[in-house]
Amino acid sequence: MNKIIVTTSWDDNHPQNLKLAKLLNQYNIKGTFYLTKFNQYETPAREIQEISSCQEVGVHTLTHPKLTEISLSEAREEIKGGKDYLEKVVGKEIKMFSYPYGLFNQEIKDLVKEAGFLGARTIEKFVILEPRDFFEFDTTLQIYPFPLRKRDAKHFHLTRHLFDSLINNFSGIRKLNLPLKCFLNWRSLAKSSFDFVVKKGGIWHLWGHSAELEKYNLWQDLEEILKYIADKKEVLYFTNSQVLEYFI
């Protein structure tokens, strides 16, 4: 695959989702916002409509349960109910779904298909290939403090966090054969992985949570990366469903 595609996706309801949607717009980057009906925060209908007018809205269930740990009939209601709810709010078809906590199995995938979605996003990272299974649409990179979180400096479990963070990303970094400088910080990792996709072709799929942009103060990091990846003639900027539709 020689084409270069950039897409982003954002999970969970949060008061800052609208700010994030506007930031993406500013750089002409597309994103899909996966929302629940209620989970800690109920996004007002007009905010959902505003996000939907400039970016894509996807379903993240009604109440964010672990779908593999509830009954199939409850899971069906969470999936289909989430679609019905958002479609009523935005007045158009909702094509994409994302699995809360990234948890799914074959039965859950089948329920998502049965509900009429085009595809579903996972939380698998360091994938840049064309999606073979639309109901396992993987990502490339999560925006999250790397290799350390700011609070870790004072944290009792410092070594443990560093270890987890490296283990969590090391095989992916090796798989893409990224340069050593990507271990410096998240921005380097983001730039290196984007450069890799530009060179080889593929999909660069960034995902994250507004809640973590706030919690770990990552807005500046994100904006630096949006600037870095924006306005490239050879790149297609798509929402999640546009990526899948491109491969139909």
Residues in contact with Zn ion by the rule CB under 5 A: 11-12, 100
First-residue to last-residue Cα distance in the chain: 14
Closer residue to Zn ion in complex, CB, 12/138: 12
CB of 73 to Zn ion, least distance (A): 22
DSSP E strands, 185-243: 202-208, 235-237
CB of 209 to Zn ion, least distance (A): 7
Q: Directed axis angle between helix 17-26 and helix 45-54, to 10°?
A: 20
Closest residue to Zn ion, judged by C-beta, is 11
Cis peptide before 145 (omega within 30 of 0): no
CB of 184 to Zn ion, least distance (A): 28
Closer residue to Zn ion in complex, CB, 7/192: 7
Closer residue to Zn ion in complex, CB, 206/235: 206
Kindly give the pairing relationship between strand 31-35 and strand 56-59. parallel
**For residues 182 and 185, what is the distance between their CA atoms, to the nearest angstrom?**
7
CB of 7 to Zn ion, least distance (A): 18
**For residues 100 and 78, what is the distance between their CA atoms, to the nearest angstrom?**
11
CB of 60 to Zn ion, least distance (A): 6
CB of 143 to Zn ion, least distance (A): 14
Beta bridge partners, 6, equal 204, 237
Closer residue to Zn ion in complex, CB, 70/166: 70
Sign of CA dihedral 75, 79, 80, 85: positive
SS3 content of the chain, % helix, strand, coil (to 5): 50, 15, 35
